[in-house]
Amino acid sequence: MNSIIIASRNGGKIREIKQILSLDGVRLQDLREIGFDEPIEETGSSFDENALIKARAVYRRYRTWVVADDSGLVVPFLKGEPGVRSARYGGAGADDQENNRILLENMADAYGEQRKAWFVCVSILYCGEGNYRRAEGKVEGYLTTEPRGYGGFGYDPLFFLQDLGKTMAQLSDDEKNAISHRGRAFRKFGEEIVRRLENQSDQR
């Protein structure tokens, strides 16, 4: 069985990627499963840079295919914040609840269209030095004034989808993966992974 490493320790993100990239003959392992405990400093100024930093760090140690992503919430009213700092918006060690609290405080004076926001995910399929593919997913919504729902993670309880009349946290896993930024980004890799594996087998 072919193994691909998910360059993440985030339980919610890992669960979603494994559901989205469920492929016959492919085993997905995350950093906790393989015992990778080295810190990866996300020093990039963009989602692309941070996704590549994570993918390269893991590939250079294990020399096997890696999928990585960097994602976050972009709020025009806050001049693009939290952006690449989405997971660290409330400061070092802040959890989802604290990040959501800070976001709501900063959005207190925003109304109507000012509460528009979008989730962005840049994903990387890294197969070797300089040999990788990038994909991007985006989903637009509005920020609520209080959390709604108990599913998902991160800013999901505050992210309202008008077409569905629900926040991300009120969706089932299947509903969320079908429309989410991460689902849209990683689904683009399904056929690519199968094709690359078939080519690899033909060359043996």
Express each pLDDT in 151-169 by its tens digit: 999 999 999 999 999 999 9
pLDDT at 81: 98
**Could you give the domains of the chain?**
2-202 (3.90.950.10)
Cα–Cα distance between 107 and 119 in angstroms, integer?
16
Lowest mean pLDDT among 19-23, 45-49, 109-113, 148-152: 19-23
Which band of pLDDT confidence, cut at 50, 70 and 90, is reported for residue 89? very high
**What would the mean pLDDT of 56-81 be, rounded to a whole number?**
97
Find, among 131, 151, 149, 163, the residue nearest to 56 by Cα: 131
List the structure tokens of 61: 């140690």
pLDDT at 25: 84
pLDDT at 149: 97
How far is CA 4 from each of CA 57, 126, 194, rounded to the nearest angstrom? 14, 10, 12
**What would the mean pLDDT of 133-152 be, rounded to a whole number?**
97
**What would the mean pLDDT of 38-55 be, rounded to a whole number?**
95
Indicate the pTM of the whole model.
0.92
Asked if 86 contacts 99 with a C-beta cutoff of 8 angstroms, the reply is: yes
Asked if 164 contacts 141 with a C-beta cutoff of 8 angstroms, the reply is: no
In 115-192, where do the E strands start and end?
116-128, 131-143, 159-161, 166-167
DSSP assigned state of 136 = E
70 is catalytic: yes
Write the CB contacts of 116 (distance below 8 Å, at least 6 apart in sequence): 75, 76, 77, 140, 141, 142, 143
**What would the mean pLDDT of 188-196 be, rounded to a whole number?**
82
Q: Which of 70, 109, 173, 174 is catalytic?
A: 70
